[in-house]
Structure 1
Amino acid sequence: MIYTVTLNPSIDYIVRLDQVQVGSVNRMDSDDKFAGGKGINVSRVLKRLDIPNTATGFIGGFTGKFITDTLVEEEIETRFVQVAEDTRINVKIKAEQETEINGTGPTVEPAQLEELKAILSSLTAEDTVVFAGSSAKNLGNVIYKDLIALTRQTGAQVVCDFEGQTLIDSLDYQPLLVKPNNHELGAIFGVKLESLDQIEKYARELLAKGAQNVIISMAGDGALLVTSEGAYFAKPIKGTVKNSVGAGDSMVAGFTGEFVKSKDAVEAFKWGVACGTATTFSDDLATAEFIKETYEKVEVEKR
């Protein structure tokens, strides 16, 4: 079973209008509300690929109920730990410029953290756990190291979608996959990456530090997979960009779901690219039909 862990989920409230006039009343043209958070996005895409999974993490209040109800409606199993305060709302204003206002999220009490640890401790070597996104406000990202260590003690695999020091810390536990973008990769090593050769070089550094597979996403310039067996480049697919939210999470879902089935990193990479690209060209997370259509356009070459 694949589990996704979202420590600080959200409702993503998307507001659309022509322009924002600061200090005045603004009326929207349209709006949407989605269950959000990186791990939750992974769960939703996995389900669209008909891959069973369980979403866990911390959730609370009427906003948390909206997220749970959304996942239940999509027939995704949940094992959330309830907290007292409301799950946060992230507002995304799409006007002449895109503006985001992100909530801080609820406080997690020690007993609630122990409840999540108990869930992770019950896993087995047959399971894979996706850790993604920011932590609860009072725990800090350092808590991920404890949770990942606990998960690995059960024999389960871990996928870690982080950036910065949190990603570096996760390498001690040999994650099945890490997936920084090219800018995040450069920031980790304090360098400006200007060529595919440079990107491959530093991706291999992550491999040497413990990662089993490394994907570097490069937005409209394609993506790179680096494994112990070689490096593989996915050519960019042309289309109209509609959505910057959830593309990376979709890529993680595509790779993880396929790898758990086939243990084939290159085939998993193709599905990751298909999922990520399809979401980029969609208003929300991509549909199964569009993902399959996009998969047929994926071209991967070994470097």
Structure 2
Amino acid sequence: MHRSDDYKSLIDLINKTSYRHSTWQVFSDFVEMSAIAISNSVDWIHREDREKRYLEIINSYEKREQELFPEMFAHLINALEFEVITDGPTDILGQVFHELELHNKWKGQFFTPMNICEAMGMMVVGDKEQLIQEKGFITVNEPCAGSGAMVLGLAKAMKANKMNYCSQMVVTATDIDLKCVHMAYLQLALCGIPAVIIHGNTLTVKEWSRWYTPVYMLDGWIWRQHCGMTTVRTTDDERTKKSMDSNYSTNRELSGYEKNATNIEKAKTELVQFVIEGIEAVAESQDLTKIKKVKNTKKDSNIEQISIFDINF
């Protein structure tokens, strides 16, 4: 990775702001406030809560300290732009994180080196050209996003293969660490990658918040491609669509989607209950015939589809 003057200036400014606060806190606050600033330009439904959080953070710093954060943001933009122009998208914040010695070996928080991400990107992108020709884009799912380096490595590989990573891929990236969510969101947003960054747990499929990059919103990806840990529509997506199109709810009702969605949710509830009954049957009697009897119970034949894994005993 090339080291621009802006990269070095970013590190210097973080260290300069750390005389009254810990370096860890300054870095975390910088990426969170920067992520909020970008998000609030395109995400209306979360704007009020995130603006409150922004003010809460910035007001914990003195005026002269506050003035340094926009400078950090400017240096990050310039450093990313330098890399994109000279070589391709790369992980600036991950490198800054390690250079500031913020990694913690006891927690195992070491971001994947960029050269490995680039190699994996080249291996993956080779067989995707046909899919892009047929569908127009590829979907990418990163279950442990970190700083977004894996996605940036793939974007760099796409650029090297004359593909447009700003329009020919859409990303779902998840991380359980909110700091990583902000880091990944910042870098993918500034590199112009359409993506939804989810603060969630991919093992339990629990989601706490989602962050839409500007390109994802402005290029209409929210209408074109669902992004999430499951195929189930999320409340945030639905609220966002309603805020963008006043006729959205009416159109859904006229198309019968609302009724069908209610039936699907009812069937999912019944299916979960069926699994519980099956487990209890095994625990009580170890008799699999009870499970088979429950499993063979007919469900509502009017339901078109249930987004849940098939269950086999």
Query: What is the TM-score with the length of structure 2 in the denominator?
Result: 0.27
Which entry has the higher C-alpha Rg, 1 or 2?
Answer: 2
Query: What is the TM-score with the length of structure 1 in the denominator?
Result: 0.28
Greater fraction of residues in helix? 2
Greater fraction of residues in strand? 1
